[in-house]
Amino acid sequence: MNPTDLLSAMKRTVEQVAAFNELAKALTSTLDVHQVLQLVMQKVSELLRPTNWSLLLFDEKTGELYFEIAVGARAERLKSARLLPGEGIAGAVFQSGEPRRVDDVRSDPAFAGRFDEVSAFETRSVMAVPLRVRGRSLGVIELVNGPEVPPFTDEDLQTLQGIAEFAAIAIDNARNFQAVQELTISDEHTGLFNARHLRALLEDEVERADRFGHPLSLIFLDLDHFKQVNDTWGHLVGSALLREVGELLSACIRGVDSAFRYGGDEFAVLLIETDAQSARAVAERIRDRFRATTFHGGRGLKIRVTASIGYASMPDHARSPTALLEAADRAMYQVKAHGRDGVAGATA
């Protein structure tokens, strides 16, 4: 190797080591999956400068690979595409767990399947490496160069493998953290958020509503005579009915709002930027949905359950998280004291 080539190789090695150190520090500083993927995208583009590239993740529910990231010309075509393990170069790399580099895809038999993951591009050279951690594959990083760019080299493949090793660990850690977070904020019986998350979210939303002068409303509801369900059909049916209630509440609110199981047969709904009049409309919609619903309790039963519903709004009825919660709770008990199956608003 002549001195010029040696100097160029040394310079590239130093750049790669520095980039890997930077990537490692960045990836260990976050447990957010989206931030991890953004960092991976940035480093792939900086170090390898592919014409197009993609990051595929494995969907355990469907048994397919999907394109979490697709970068480059006509990448939109790939976002809805799916690959089976073993299909195309990416599928083959995922299935085997071994990296692969192809100088010219026109002569490669892997592209004879029903779908070419690089057919959206003018493609010549491809390389793909698995995202592997603890003996299992999470997905694949695949890079594509067009005919106007020299084919990928062995050094490029080694660089991509280094990025993939960091990325797989970071993605796995972020997913595990997300799973733990979901367990700590979710109610296991209904799938709704739990009371702990309600209190935390209420603190943030009250502060935000106060800062920007926006209204905020909270609905509190209690199932009427729910004890009779448990006494008549047992606690398994009662738990199944609670799940159905969670589905009912989720169907009655907007995507920006949140529903919670507060405890037992008590539920809450947090309505963002919603005043008292609109909160009443939502509460009445929930009441009417209960009246119209036949619950099955997981056994095909025909159970009718109503709810006593109270609501309170900020700033009309309260100015703090605790006061808002207590105001909605008092309104709910007004309904219970006057026959149940109704809606009442808090008083100032």
Q: What does pTM read for this prediction?
A: 0.55
For residues 77 and 118, give the distance between their C-alpha atoms in angstroms, rounded to a whole number: 10
The chain-wide mean pLDDT, for the chain, equals: 86
At residue 12, the pLDDT reads 59
pLDDT digits (tens, 9 = 90+) for 145-160: 888 888 899 988 988 9
Burial 26-51 (b: 16+ CB within 10 A, else e): bbeebbebeebbebbbebbeebbebb
Six token digits for residue 253: 């609110």
Burial 225-264 (b: 16+ CB within 10 A, else e): ebeebeeebeeebbebbbbbbbebbbebbeeebbbbbbee
pLDDT grade, residue 142 (50/70/90)?
Answer: very high
Which domains does the chain show, CATH number per domain? 3-184 (3.30.450.40), 193-345 (3.30.70.270)
Reported as type and span, the H/E element at residue 280 is helix 276-292
Of 187, 265, 316, 329, the catalytic one is: 265
Burial 181-207 (b: 16+ CB within 10 A, else e): eeeebbbebbebbbbebbeebbeebbe
DSSP reduced 3-state for 89: helix
For residues 196 and 323, give the distance between their C-alpha atoms in angstroms, rounded to a whole number: 16
What mean pLDDT is predicted for residues 125-141?
A: 92
- 257 catalytic? Reply is no
Examine the pLDDT at 298 and tell me if it is beyond 50: yes
E-strand stretches of the chain: 52-59, 64-71, 82-83, 100-102, 125-133, 136-145, 193-194, 216-223, 258-263, 266-272, 307-314, 342-345
At residue 114, the pLDDT reads 38
Q: Which amino acid is at 56?
A: L
The pLDDT > 90 percentage for the chain reads 55
What mean pLDDT is predicted for residues 279-305?
A: 95
Q: Do 131 and 172 touch, CB atoms closer than 8 A?
A: no
Examine the pLDDT at 121 and tell me if it is beyond 60: no
- Longest CA–CA separation in the chain, Å: 93
Examine the pLDDT at 319 and tell me if it is beyond 50: yes
Examine the pLDDT at 24 and tell me if it is beyond 70: no
pLDDT digits (tens, 9 = 90+) for 173-215: 888 877 776 667 888 889 899 998 999 899 999 999 999 999 9
At residue 27, the pLDDT reads 59
Examine the pLDDT at 244 and tell me if it is beyond 80: yes
pLDDT digits (tens, 9 = 90+) for 104-116: 776 666 554 434 4
Examine the pLDDT at 280 and tell me if it is beyond 90: yes
Q: Do 276 and 311 touch, CB atoms closer than 8 A?
A: yes
List all residues 6 or more positions away from 26 whose beta carbon is below 8 Å from its beta carbon: 39
Tell me the DSSP string of 300-321.
T--B---EEEEEEEETTT-SSH
Say which DSSP state 276 is in.
Answer: H
Examine the pLDDT at 225 and tell me if it is beyond 90: yes
Tell me the DSSP string of 157-207.
HHHHHHHHHHHHHHHHHHHHHHHHHHHHHB-TTTSSEEHHHHHHHHHHHHH
pLDDT grade, residue 129 (50/70/90)?
Answer: very high
The residue among 127 and 112 whose pLDDT is bigger is: 127
pLDDT digits (tens, 9 = 90+) for 45-89: 888 888 888 899 999 889 999 998 888 876 777 878 899 999 988
